Structure 1
Amino acid sequence: MNYSKQIVRETPRGIIFTDFDGTLFNSERFVTEENFKTLETAREAGYITAIATGRSLFSFRRVADSLDTPIEDYFDYLIFSSGAGVIRSYPGIRGFKTEVTVEDLIEAEGLSPSVAFDAAGLLFRRGIDFMIQKLVPDNHHFVHVKSNGAVNPDYYRRIRIYSGFTEALESADGDSELDQIEKACFKGVSQLVAVVPPGGNTDIDAKYTNELIEYLRHRLSDCSIIRTTSPIDHSSLWIEVFNPEVSKSKTADRLTRSLGLSSENALAVGNDFNDEDMLHWAGTGRTVDEAPEKMRMAHPSAGRAIDSAVASAIQSFITDKKGVKT
């Protein structure tokens, strides 16, 4: 961690974190002008702004570069890969750049090789398909592991999306698949991404998902287990296994404290399960209408993402200068 690279403003009034997909970047795949204007107003008023996304830096950059408006001109920081990495923005030069080195990062966390192998071995024995991602900032490169013969379209679609950056396990005479997995893990791992297809019955899927998450958290107690909905088919379950210090809330907390602020000075806006911990952590947590009902019950919705829910949340937050938990 190197928070000496942080942006330091005089007496920042607070800090604003927003998820990207489904929150700031809506289902129609754009960021509203109202969101941009409100973010600009917040920064001019002395607030720090940050995106907290589950996307890798590479994946985020590909989407950001497709936008008409340079998004980095409205943000001070990008927290990517659910907190595994943090980079500051460089407004005016397409600042959240893809080609970065470890020296460019404020924070980069990975799994130890032995822990990564233990976790990968558990997923493999459970018959769960997964990917072994390289270390940040190169974690758009991965080795894919098909652990069973079941149909898993989302798994294969992710491989196709990252064509040119993926590879199958290296085969060698006498090596078992677990031997090959171990070799991949000892090359450096940022996270594992498990892809679990939906079963077709919502109630059964929910029960299975909850039991699987609890099982993995129990067996992999020295890891951070993060659940999210696939951004590809919007129905498969993704389970990401990280260093125990990685989550949106833990990384947001370290960044916030480095700026002389606390969680009570923070707003967080999100729409999916990988945002829950950040919403609980922030002094003010807000969802969008598209978020799961359970999340909206715990954290009020600021409206539909496509109707500039982020702007609405920021405007309300700024009105309450203290950011008291609501």
Structure 2
Amino acid sequence: MRQMGVSVALATGRSDYSFAKLLENLTADPAAGLPADHIIFSTGAGIMDFPGRRLLKSFSLRPEDVRFIAQVLDSMTLDYMIHQPVPDTRSFLYCLRNNQENPDFHRRLQLYKPHAAPLSPVTLAASHGATQVLCIVPVESGHGIFHKVAASLEQFSVIKATSPLDGQSIWIEIFAPAVSKSQAVKWLAGEIGVSREQICAVGNDYNDEDLLHWAGQSFVVANSPESILARFPAVASNNEAGVS
């Protein structure tokens, strides 16, 4: 596509740090061969050029927003993580409220243990804001809890995603109001002079829905959730080069 003059942006739920680690695991030269001009990370909370990785735009929750969100989630006895603002998104505070098993939460906590610290009244009061607040909920109750959280925090951007770790648990991500993949792509398109009608989006999960509805033309890969497959035309799965 890029050989034909098409600009390519990869929009991911991963943080900039997680995306960089993924590239390191894929190839010895992280920038080599990745067909992208821009990376939209943390579901639209940050935008950078590529391969230079110069930060172009970022959004954060304010300190008072973080404290309010924590209060709401505590009232629901949910487990959550508060990620520091860009570019320090790898670092987070975590809160374990639910006595029920939440293996995906513990799996992620173990994965990023060097960058994690327990939440306390002192650390919450000292917060300088956050890229996002992330709740991790077992799949059995995840969809229902997502709707409750979204209704309680309607002044924020509340986005649902499937866990990339176990492929089942529901991640509920809470961002500043302006954050979403569609809003990030809209901003980027304005910067590079591309109209909405010229944009083609390919998605695979719940956190792509706003972008899929917004773009001029949209597709989903064959291994997307059934509720998304029912609304958009499908291409081959991401394991079979559906995007190419």
Query: TM-score range, shorter-chain basis?
Result: over 0.9
Alpha-carbon spacing, 1:190–1:79, altered in 2? closer, same or farther (3 Å): same
Q: 2:230 maps to what in 1?
A: 297
Q: 2:10 maps to what in 1?
A: 51
Q: Tell me, what secondary structure is at the counterpart of 1:66?
A: helix
CA contact (8 A) 1:271 1:292 kept: yes
Following TM superposition, by how much is the alpha carbon of 1:71 offset from its aligned partner in structure 2, in angstroms?
A: 4.6
Q: Tell me, what secondary structure is at the counterpart of 2:200?
A: strand
Mapped partners of 1:182, 1:165: distance in 2: 16
Mapped partners of 2:166, 2:221: distance in 1: 20
Q: 1:6 maps to what in 2?
A: none
Whether 2:128 is the aligned partner of 1:187: answer: yes
Mapped partners of 2:237, 2:84: distance in 1: 35
CA contact (8 A) 2:157 2:180 kept: yes
Alignment of 1:220-259 (within 5 A): 220-259=153-192
Amino acid across the alignment from 1:193: L
Alpha-carbon spacing, 1:283–1:71, altered in 2? closer, same or farther (3 Å): farther
Equivalent of 2:35, from 74, 82, 101?
Answer: 74
Mapped partners of 1:88, 1:235: distance in 2: 31
TM-score, scaled relative to structure 1: 0.71
Mapped partners of 2:190, 2:19: distance in 1: 25
Aligned pairs, number: 242
Whether 2:90 is the aligned partner of 1:129: answer: no
Q: Tell me, what secondary structure is at the counterpart of 2:114?
A: coil
CA contact (8 A) 1:128 1:147 kept: yes
Mapped partners of 1:248, 1:117: distance in 2: 25
Q: 1:148 maps to what in 2?
A: 98
CA contact (8 A) 1:132 1:143 kept: yes
CA contact (8 A) 2:39 2:48 kept: yes
Following TM superposition, by how much is the alpha carbon of 1:58 offset from its aligned partner in structure 2, in angstroms?
A: 0.4
Q: Tell me, what secondary structure is at the counterpart of 1:106?
A: strand
Where does the alignment leave 5 or more consecutive residues of structure 2 unmatched? none
Bigger radius of gyration: 1
Identify, as 1 or 2, the structure richer in strand.
Answer: 2
Fraction of identical pairs, as percent: 35
TM-score, scaled relative to structure 2: 0.94
Equivalent of 1:87, from 27, 30, 48?
Answer: 48
Mapped partners of 1:162, 1:212: distance in 2: 25
Mapped partners of 1:293, 1:84: distance in 2: 27
CA contact (8 A) 1:268 1:278 kept: yes
Deviation sequence 1:275-315 (CA, Å, 0-9, x none): 1111111111110110012211211111121211001xxxx
Amino acid across the alignment from 1:182: L
Following TM superposition, by how much is the alpha carbon of 1:147 offset from its aligned partner in structure 2, in angstroms?
A: 1.1
Amino acid across the alignment from 1:141: S
Amino acid across the alignment from 2:219: R
Q: Tell me, what secondary structure is at the counterpart of 2:189?
A: helix
Amino acid across the alignment from 1:89: F
Q: Tell me, what secondary structure is at the counterpart of 2:223?
A: coil
Whether 2:218 is the aligned partner of 1:285: answer: yes
Amino acid across the alignment from 1:135: P
